[in-house]
Amino acid sequence: MNDLSATLNATLGLLAGPDPTLAGIVGLSLQVSLTAVLLAALPGLPLGALLAVRRFPGRGAVVVATNAMMGLPPVVAGLVLYLLLSRSGPLGGLGLLFSPGAMVLAQAVLVAPILVALSRQALEALWEEYEEQLRSFGAGPGQAVRTLLWEGRYPLLTVLLAGFGRAAAEVGAVMIVGGNIEGYTRTMTTAIALETSKGDLPLALALGGVLLALVLLVNGLAQLLRGAAQRAER
Amino acid sequence: MGFALPLRLNGLRFAIGPVEIIRGITLELHEGAPSLLVGPNGAGKSVLLRLLHGLLQPSGGSLEWARPEARPPGLAPRDSMVFQRPVLLRRTVLANATYPLRLLGHSAAEARVRAEAALERVGLGRMLDRPARGLSGGEQQKLALARAWALAPEVLFLDEPTAALDPAASKAVEAIIAAIAEGGTKVVMTTHDLAQARRLAGEVLFLHHGRVVERAVAAEFFAGPRTEEAMAFLRGELFW
């Protein structure tokens, strides 16, 4: 009980008081996760749409593979990326290891399968409705993909939020490739892991509360935007 | 007109697995007054229309346009189609009408001019900025027709365009179809509504069990059908 009240007090204190260190961690967390989602969405959403509209040999295997990749263990992804980015690795020359860039890459790798799989599912239902009409108009696969991405903008927003949720909650991969360096690569989740390992559970839980508030805020803002856009279209 | 027409069907067949839906249709469709495909449910009318439009591929026989590469002037398509339930994009009325024009290669300005003119002709000229999905059923079908009309196709396939509409909306849609046909577009349309077929048809093609059982000038068909099936159908006694 004491722990819980201490946690609540600490959470409120963190949320209320201007703390430059916390602000830096929150800022970096948001920056890394949002950039990762954007980076994953650029190929992920069109790929999901393409899978929704095209039938080709081996498509079933690709769908199963993308679905399976949604469960890719972050630690494994982080380890592979670490080997690739380490000085002796094939991408070592980029000098990205233990930088926010490496964390963005790691989160993008984890988020991309989610965006591909969920957007394929969402747009497949839409394609059933639109296919005959778009084929009748003579739309090719590229035009169909572009049209579906726009027509499916509301379900795709939910897909992006799911991706953001995965990115924001991720700890294993960013810890490995980011190194949890204070003031440089420390995010909310790596800070929570650090405080937990130090035994400062109330602070760890309080940071968790802040992270939850942050995710709620992003989702709330997205919902508001979606609602306003839908109302404008009625 | 008469650019790619006539459309020649030679023993056209379509099957899904062991079930034959179109069972060897041989005929020619020429320019001129609307051709109405009538027949009971399951006769194969909608499937035939999709075969003609190229949405389905025949399982047998052939379907050939007399001049396959010929197109009406400008960027007009050879043929276009309007479905029973119009599929409208989640965009404004105007954006829906310009969409296929832009796909065909019209500039944004040209597409807008053509779309606005077509929407004006169907009575939607004051609803350009309305979300298309917020329109009534009748208005949605008018928009679908305007969208096809703006393309100025040589042939327009219509799949039961008034099936889901009330009598007033059906009447308005019929007037639009008549105007499209008078403008020189060949209309090929399916319908269950015999009164509508009487009003719109230049000729009737009566389908039963995947075959064109009877083909006649509309007035002759309704005055005295030649086949037992067509007689039974007109009496409301022919079932699938």
What are the pLDDT digits (tens) for B193-232?
899 999 999 999 999 999 999 999 999 999 999 999 999 9
Pairwise CA distance, residues B167 & A54, whole Å:
40
Domain ranges of chain A: 24-186
- Asked if B142 contacts B173 with a C-beta cutoff of 8 angstroms, the reply is yes
- Our count of domains for chain B comes to 1
Q: Is the pLDDT score of B239 beyond 70?
A: no
Residue B16 lies in a domain: yes
- Asked whether residue B102 is domain-assigned, the answer is yes
In the sheet with B7-16, reading across from the earlier edge strand, the strands are B19-29, B7-16, B60-65
**Residue B187 parent element (H or E):** strand B186-190
Look at residue B40 in the predicted model and tell me its pLDDT: 92
Residue B1 has pLDDT above 60, yes or no: no
Helix or strand (DSSP H, E) at B14? strand B7-16
Average pLDDT over residues A25-35: 95
Residue B152 belongs to a domain: yes
CATH number of A24-186: 1.10.3720.10
pTM given for the model: 0.87
**So what's the ipTM on this one?**
0.91
Whether residue A129 and residue B87 make contact (CB cut-off 8 A), yes or no, is yes
Domain-located, residue B192:
yes
Whether residue B150 is predicted with pLDDT greater than 90 in this model: the reply is yes
User: Does residue B1 fall inside a structural domain?
Assistant: no
pLDDT for the residue numbered B74: 79
Q: Is B136 on the interface with A (CB under 8 A)?
A: no
Interface test with B, best of A133, A148, A149 (most B CBs within 10 A): A133
Backbone angles phi, psi at A119, to 5 degrees: -70, -35
From residue B181, give the alpha-carbon distance in Å to each of B201, B217, B218. 10, 16, 15
- The reply to whether A55 touches chain B by the CB within 8 Å rule is no
Please give the C-alpha separations between residue A171 and each of A179, A189, B169, B188, in angstroms, as whole numbers.
Answer: 11, 5, 60, 62
Six-digit token pair at A153?
């903008």
User: pLDDT of B78-133, one tens digit each?
Assistant: 999 999 999 999 999 999 999 999 999 999 999 999 999 999 999 999 999 999 99
For residue A144 the two structure tokens come to 């169909």
| Structural domain includes residue B12 | yes
Q: Tell which of B57, B99, B130 to mutate to test the A interface (max A CBs under 10 Å).
A: B99
Q: Is residue B118 situated within a structural domain? A: yes
pLDDT tens digits for range B21-63? 999 999 999 999 999 999 999 999 999 999 999 999 999 999 9
pLDDT of residue A20: 84
CATH of the domain at B20: 3.40.50.300
Residue B19, pLDDT > 80, answer yes
Whether A151 and chain B come into contact, CB under 8 Å, resolves to yes
Would strands B203-208 and B35-38 be described as parallel, antiparallel, or unpaired? parallel
User: Which domain covers residue B128, as residue numbers?
Assistant: 7-234
Residue B134 lies in a domain: yes
